[in-house]
């Protein structure tokens, strides 16, 4: 069992719910030993989302455990939802751990997400904590997929940012972008260093979409509860990668100083655990010879 007592249910926009957990000092959910749940997702804070219309919901990511996914489903069923479509933002463990709870409906993913889950199945099912059973997507798409929920249009779109299989959801009627891991607050996590130039180009393409507010998977709960971030979050993440790729940050400058201008401008906030992410990013680019 995974403790869900610190899970917070937020409503950043009408009919859009965020299921946020983490950023709780001194609390660990799984183990005192190093593990992906406590030291990654929970420490940085993570939200999955649901878009609700009539008796149906599109759930964006299945959260960090089966118990978290069950809590999401209970809340939605309490709202009268009986039909669920799960859409995955990408294949990483903290976004797919609860897939089994939504296995009675469609599980939609970008084609590369399904391929990555198949290729990494053994690692995911035997990780710490294990994701078992790992339930695979039932439907895939390549570039774009049109969805509806309660008569509301939702666009699933592929952006190769953070991970080659990244997916965002856009709600045109609300000017809202559910961003998964393609942007983060405080900074993006580099998981595919060799593709950083592609990620920068894709962030430029993302900035060309029409939207007013962004809801990331990893961000500050107060900002998410208040409706999310503006387009400055995309620019801050892009500029951060551009500066790292240009060789900045290798002198040991702490993240607090490295992103001070973006923090002062309100494009991002500063959250101390991202210092470790920043150091890992610098090391990843150096290891890739970039």
Q: With 90 as the cut, is the pLDDT of residue 75 above it?
A: yes
Nearest to 241 by CA among 265, 259, 223, 218: 259
Residue 1 is predicted with a pLDDT of 83
Percent pLDDT > 90 in the chain is: 99
Rounded distance, CA 207 to CA 266, Å? 17
Q: Are 289 and 197 in contact (CB under 8 A)?
A: no
Tell me the mean pLDDT in the region 139-154.
Answer: 97
CATH of range 8-287; options 3.30.590.10, 3.60.15.10, 2.102.10.10, 3.60.20.40: 3.60.15.10
Q: With 90 as the cut, is the pLDDT of residue 136 above it?
A: yes
163: its two tokens = 């991970």
Rounded distance, CA 203 to CA 197, Å? 10
Rounded distance, CA 56 to CA 85, Å? 8
Tell me the mean pLDDT in the region 178-203.
Answer: 97
Bridge partner list, 47: 20
Tell me the mean pLDDT in the region 74-80.
Answer: 98
Assess whether the previous peptide bond of 133 is cis (omega < 30° from 0): yes
Residues 6+ apart with CB under 8 A from 248: 258
Q: Are 131 and 36 in contact (CB under 8 A)?
A: no
Rounded distance, CA 184 to CA 165, Å? 16
Q: Please state the pTM of the whole predicted model.
A: 0.97
Tell me: the pLDDT tens digits for 6-38?
Answer: 999 999 999 999 999 999 999 999 999 999 999
Bridge partner list, 51: 16, 58
Bridge partner list, 18: 10, 49
94: its two tokens = 């903290």
Q: With 90 as the cut, is the pLDDT of residue 41 above it?
A: yes
Mean of pLDDT over the chain: 97
Tell me: the pLDDT tens digits for 198-218?
Answer: 999 999 999 999 999 999 999
Query: How is the chain split into domains, by residue range?
Result: 8-287
Rounded distance, CA 263 to CA 26, Å? 25
114: its two tokens = 């399904």
Rounded distance, CA 49 to CA 33, Å? 29
What pLDDT band is residue 55 in, cutting at 50, 70 and 90?
very high
Rounded distance, CA 127 to CA 209, Å? 36
């Amino acid at each position: 069992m995974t403790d869900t007592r610190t899970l917070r249910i937020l409503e950043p926009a009408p009919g859009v719910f965020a299921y946020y957990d983490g950023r709780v000092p001194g609390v660990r959910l799984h183990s005192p030993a190093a593990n992906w749940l406590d030291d990654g997702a929970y420490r940085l804070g993570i939200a999955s989302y649901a878009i609700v219309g009539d008796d149906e919901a599109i759930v964006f990511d299945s959260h960090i455990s089966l118990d978290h996914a069950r809590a999401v489903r209970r809340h939605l069923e309490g709202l009268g939802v009986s039909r669920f479509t799960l859409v995955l933002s990408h294949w990483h463990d903290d976004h797919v751990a609860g897939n089994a709870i939504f296995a009675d409906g469609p599980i939609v993913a970008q084609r590369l997400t399904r391929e990555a889950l198949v290729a990494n199945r053994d690692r995911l099912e035997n990780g710490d904590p294990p994701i078992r059973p790992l339930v695979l997507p039932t439907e895939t798409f390549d570039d774009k997929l049109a969805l509806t929920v309660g008569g509301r249009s939702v666009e699933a779109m592929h952006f190769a940012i953070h991970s080659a299989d990244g997916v965002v959801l856009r709600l045109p009627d609300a000017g809202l972008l559910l961003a998964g891991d393609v942007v983060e607050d405080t900074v993006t996590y580099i998981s595919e260093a060799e593709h950083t130039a592609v990620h920068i180009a894709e962030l430029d393409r993302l900035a060309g979409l029409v939207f007013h507010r962004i809801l990331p998977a990893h961000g500050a709960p107060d900002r998410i509860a208040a409706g999310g971030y503006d387009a400055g979050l995309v620019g801050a993440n892009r500029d951060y990668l551009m500066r790292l790729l240009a060789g900045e940050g290798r002198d040991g400058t702490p993240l607090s100083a490295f992103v001070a201008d973006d923090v002062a401008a309100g494009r991002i906030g500063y959250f101390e655990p991202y210092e470790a992410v920043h150091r890992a990013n610098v090391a990843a680019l150096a290891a890739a010879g970039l």
